[in-house]
Amino acid sequence: MTSSVLDLAPVVPVVVLEDAADAVPLARALVAGGLPAIEVTLRTAAALDAIGAIAAEVPDAVVGAGTVISVRNVADTVAAGARFLVSPGWTDSLLDAMKASGVPFLPGVSTTSEVVALLEREVTEMKFFPAEAAGGTAYLKALSAPLPQARFCPTGGISLASAPSYLALPNVGCVGGSWMVPADAVAAKDWARVERLASEASALRG
């Protein structure tokens, strides 16, 4: 795996799974569609089992954990097989735990001060969240001149239509989104539809 999550694919699917049994077929559909990096959020009781199943059964997937908000989350998800970590925000203790985890991580930021604080801690790759609500492409473009060393994965409110404008920015490596894993497709186990949507997303380039 590349050392940077930002360089795996133009889009990182943000997945919420209610049933761990859906994890493997969903991951296979996303990989087949060209999106190997998959962020499974810790928003459901099935999340850890889902991460473990993907890690064990879908070797071409690079499964990560999202909504990582505690030191315990870091330990649990890495033990389950997560190969990268994503947080909506960060604290010193959470950052220390992610740094010590041995896997790549994207701490969440939404303000310039948070970006500067991470740069001070020698972290240059971050999640920008919630992207649309926090200022979108205009905000990220404004950050690129004074803080060119910071690179971002914007997530939150991004769609197939808006993703290209983010990917065109010099400080954006990839975007996170859930439009290729719509809840109705997952509920119906329509993995062909997921693969088709993933293929559209994987074709996006800045």
Residues labelled as active-site residues: 39, 127
Determine the Cα–Cα distance for residues 158 and 96; give it in Å rounded to an integer: 29
- Across-strand partners of 176? 12, 155
CB 50 within 8 A of CB 17: yes
Instruction: Tell me the one-letter amino acid at 81.
Output: G
Instruction: State the CB neighbour count (10 A cutoff) for residue 42.
Output: 21
Determine the Cα–Cα distance for residues 165 and 158; give it in Å rounded to an integer: 10
Closest alpha carbon to 153 in 112, 108, 200: 108
